[in-house]
Amino acid sequence: MARTDRLFRLLHVLRLVPQPVTAARLAEETGVSLRSIYRDIDALRAAGARIDGAAGAGYTLEEDAALPPQTLSQIEVEALSIGLSDVVVRGDPALSDAAESALAKITARLPGDRQRQMLHAVSLVRRYAETPPRQVDTDLLRTAAWDEVAIDIAYTDKAGAETARRILPLALVYTDSTEVLLAWCCLRADFRMFLVPSIRHASRSDASFRPRRVTLLRDYIARMRAEGCD
């Protein structure tokens, strides 16, 4: 394998594998020796890649504008176009604007032929089913999950009863017809799914649950899989 191809392969693995990733794992994934991995890490750093870590401690890739535009295959360009276009169509205003911005930035960084393929993608996105109207700003829910801050909500259940709850927002799930907020419900002391259109009011509290979000979300997803809900 040519060294340039090997370096691109190493970058690709660093993006995909959970980090920090050991040199041994990188060597296994790329099919080269440990010595080659150490040399290639140094070469990528010299080229402008921000890679944190050291031998024995694992490596973490931090994205950097100094890196050259990544070479995407035609099908990868098509996948990006479909994914981001779908977010533009069905996301809340903040998410939709962000998807449009990301699509423009990625397109601008692509070489000529791939840029044309992105601008004139074969696959197009159209959604005709209307999603239920949101009563709250989805961006507030998303930001609270990022910041790991509890939120207070007024929620209407399937029976039409409204309750006031404090919840720990973990993740937003976009289904075919609506959005669902995965959360820890402090009222029930258990995991719960909340239909976003059924949240009548939401406000941030001053109660932080950092750094528990990742652990809670992992446990919730594990339970869902065990119950066949994934």
Domain containing 38 equals: 3-62
> What are 78-135's pLDDT values in tens digits?
999 999 999 988 888 899 999 998 888 888 777 778 888 888 888 888 877 777 888 9
Q: Do 103 and 176 share a domain, yes or no? A: no
Q: What is the mean pLDDT of the chain?
A: 88
Question: Which structure tokens are listed for 138?
Answer: 């989805």
State the Cα–Cα distance between residues 217 and 170, nearest whole angstrom: 6
One domain, residues 221 and 150: yes
Stronger pLDDT, 11 or 172, i.e. the higher one:
172
- Output DSSP code: residue 110: S
Q: How far apart (Å, rounded) are the C-alpha atoms in residues 148 and 169?
A: 7
Identify whether 68 is part of a domain: no
CATH, residue 197? 2.30.30
- In a domain, residue 167? The reply is yes
The better pLDDT of the pair 118, 210 is held by: 210
- Between helix 23-30 and helix 3-16 the angle, nearest 10°, is 120
> Which tops the pLDDT comparison, 53 or 169?
169
Nearest to 114 by CA among 68, 67, 63, 76: 76
Is the domain of 189 the same as that of 159?
Answer: yes
CA angle at residue 95 from 106 to 223, to 5 degrees? 105
The mean per-residue pLDDT over the stretch 27-45 comes to 91
Residue 131 lies in a domain: no
Q: Average pLDDT for residues 126-147, to the nearest whole number?
A: 89
**Degrees to nearest 5, angle at CA 74 with 69 and 78:** 100
List, for residues 60-81, the tens digit of each pLDDT value. 887 654 555 556 788 988 999 9
CA 89 distance to own-chain centroid: 18
Integer Cα distance of 83 and 89 in angstroms: 10
Question: Is pLDDT at 197 greater than 90 in this prediction?
Answer: yes
Q: Is residue 132 part of a domain?
A: no
Query: Is residue 196 in some structural domain?
Result: yes
Q: Is residue 82 part of a domain?
A: yes
Cα(135)–Cα(181) distance, integer angstroms = 14
Number of domains in the chain: 3
By the 8 A CB rule, do 209 and 215 touch?
A: no
State phi, psi for 26 to the nearest 5 degrees: -60, -40
Token pair for residue 197? 């259109």
**Are residues 31 and 92 located together in one domain of the fold?**
no
For residue 127, is it within any domain? no
| Residues 172 and 214 grouped into a single domain | yes
Residue with tokens 């099919």: 31
> Nearest Cα to 8, choosing from 66, 54, 69, 57?
69
Confidence of residue 7 (pLDDT cuts 50, 70, 90): confident
* Higher-confidence position of 141 and 57: 141
Output the CA–CA distances (angstroms, integers) from residue 102 to 88, 105, 140, in the order listed.
10, 5, 21
Say what the pLDDT of residue 61 is: 84
pLDDT tens per residue across span 171-188: 999 888 889 999 999 999
- How far is the C-alpha of 194 from the C-alpha of 185, rounded, in Å? 10
Q: What is the predicted pLDDT for the residue at 67?
A: 53
* Percent share of the chain, pLDDT over 70: 95
Quote the tokens at residue 146: 């990022």
At residue 154 the predicted structure's pLDDT band, cuts being 50, 70 and 90, is very high
